[in-house]
A and B are shown apart, each in its own frame.
Chain A
Amino acid sequence: MRVAPHRTERPDRWWLEPLITVVVLGGFVLYTTWAMVFGTSHFYADPYLSPFYSPCITRLCPADTLPYVPWAYSPAWLIFWAPLAFRLTCYYYRKAYYRSFFWTPPACAVPDAAHRYRGETRFPFVIQNLHRYAFWVALIVVAFLWIDAVKAFHFATGWGVGLGSIVLLLNAGLLTLYSFSCHSCRHLCGGLFDVLSRHGLRYRVWRFVSRWNEHHMAIAWTSLVFVAFSDVYVRLVSASVIADPRWLF
């Protein structure tokens, strides 16, 4: 016999953390869906491109964007899957949504919601094992975000700095940190070796990535909130709700 494993003795507010996760993550999903589906008219405010639409590759996009794909719907549909796949298979987000949405478990020492549990051994969760490929693809997206960030300093009249330039630069920076602090990245950089001292450079890279990896959760949330904020900012400027402060050289 075991002592009542089906209930928890925790008197504290263990439900608070999963609740916050549901609210923030759910809110983000709702907002991005709206921004992708209905937000096609204000994703660009020259020279700022909303990160949800980058890389932008349809006729709806600003003229100088890259390969042109015949596509009549929101350009975001063509690329959103890449960051989504990266975040969905991310070792941190898995914890966050398994706890808050699946309740396996909702909190430590609080019973699972499900009666049967097979973890990540079966479809579809077994796909989580391909996180490293999502990482590679996410890197491509991040590269485009850097291009966008640089472009955001180039106005019709020449180089300058706008608040939007800084927002997009920060956004690219945060998403870069998020990508490179990834557990798969940490493994590929050097974690796979048993005798690290034999791989001087990769040992140092591994150490560096490991240090950032400790903050992966914080970076995951910050970059998530900030990417939505970047989109909001571009949108507000584009719709002329706010004026973008600029210093042109």
Chain B
Amino acid sequence: MAAVAERPARPSTEAARSDTVTFRVWRGDASAGEYREYTVALDEGMVVLDVIHRIQATQAGDLAVRWNCKAGKCGSCSAEINGKPRLMCMTRMDTFERGQVITVSPIKTFPLIRDLVTDVSFNFERAKEVPAFKPKAPDPDGKRRMHQEDVDRVQEFHKCIECFLCQNVCHVIRDHEDNKQHFAGPRLFVRLAALEMHPLDTNDRRELLKARAGLGYCNITKCCTEVCPEHIHITDNAIIPLKERVVTEFYDPVAWLARKLTGRDRRRGIVE
């Protein structure tokens, strides 16, 4: 016997189709590589990652690819599909024209390890530079109170699944290797925004934003927002508000004068 719910009969209307699809997949490592074509069978509802898995299982067992959840929640399977940065697990095959050869390449901003896998350690190293969350004292009764309207804004940033597609698409480091030492990238700006706008946090990261993180390198061309699989409004809600905060601190002559006159130093200039 077997549980019916585990083994449904496929309704006849969805009889298996004998479709196939051809993928052009980057194969290679740091020394050399090329695109290779694979043709596999296609079933209804498949996503790009399913096709990659089928290639692995049937034709190229050593095809290197990172993936974990296959549900758009872990952000591991970032790649470039027909030149567009995307999660392979969230790209449905029925969004492509039939018969189209689909190109899958590794994300290009980071050093290639092998096939579709790249070395994204840049992002983890940059994360270490972010000053930690430092909460203010709790309320007199020992509890911490925050209102939904205060956390709404930051919760959007906490949706980030660290797929690094924004880092990958950002031309500041994608096209200018030398900028990697001056610029942290959109993912880190989202993280910094989450901390800067956290209702309980007391650390000030504006100096870091202006200097080491290189917020000024961003020319708000919004590709990070376009590729974000979590639909975080990276540019409008994180980067631009941070730019405005940095302006107040470092560029606004009136704000500077006000600080001088009221005698408030930078650290205490944090507004609640």
Contacts and interface: CB of A to CB of B under 8 A. Distances in A.
A195 B80 contact: no
A194 B220 contact: no
A117 B82 contact: no
A141 to B, nearest CB: 20
Interface stretch (B53-61, B70-78, B197-205): B197-205
Chain A binding surface, main DSSP class: loop
Contact of A121 (B150, B169, B217): B217
Interface residues of A, number: 49
Interface string B191-235: 000001111010000000000001011111111001100000001
Contacts of A104: 171, 219, 221
Contacts of A203: 149
B80 A109 contact: yes
A191 B103 CA distance: 42
Nearest to B116: A3
Interface stretch (A30-38, A124-132, A149-157, A169-177): A124-132
Contacts of A63: none
Nearest to B154: A194
B225 to A, nearest CB: 10
B176 A116 contact: yes
Given A119-B216, A183-B244, A213 B176 contact: no
A64 interface: no
B240 A10 contact: no
Contacts of A126: 216, 251
Interface string A181-201: 001101100011111111000
Interface stretch (B11-19, B41-49, B104-112): B104-112
Interface in A70-95: 91, 94-95
Interface in A2-24: 2-5, 8-12
B83 A198 contact: no
Contacts of B251: 126, 129-130
Contacts of B272: 193-195, 198
19 contacts: A5-B109, A5-B175, A10-B84, A12-B82, A99-B221, A105-B175, A108-B223, A109-B169, A111-B171, A111-B174, A117-B172, A121-B216, A130-B247, A183-B240, A191-B241, A192-B248, A194-B272, A196-B153, A197-B149
9 closest A-B pairs (Cβ-Cβ)?
A: A9-B83, A10-B83, A119-B217, A108-B223, A187-B244, A121-B216, A197-B147, A129-B251, A105-B171
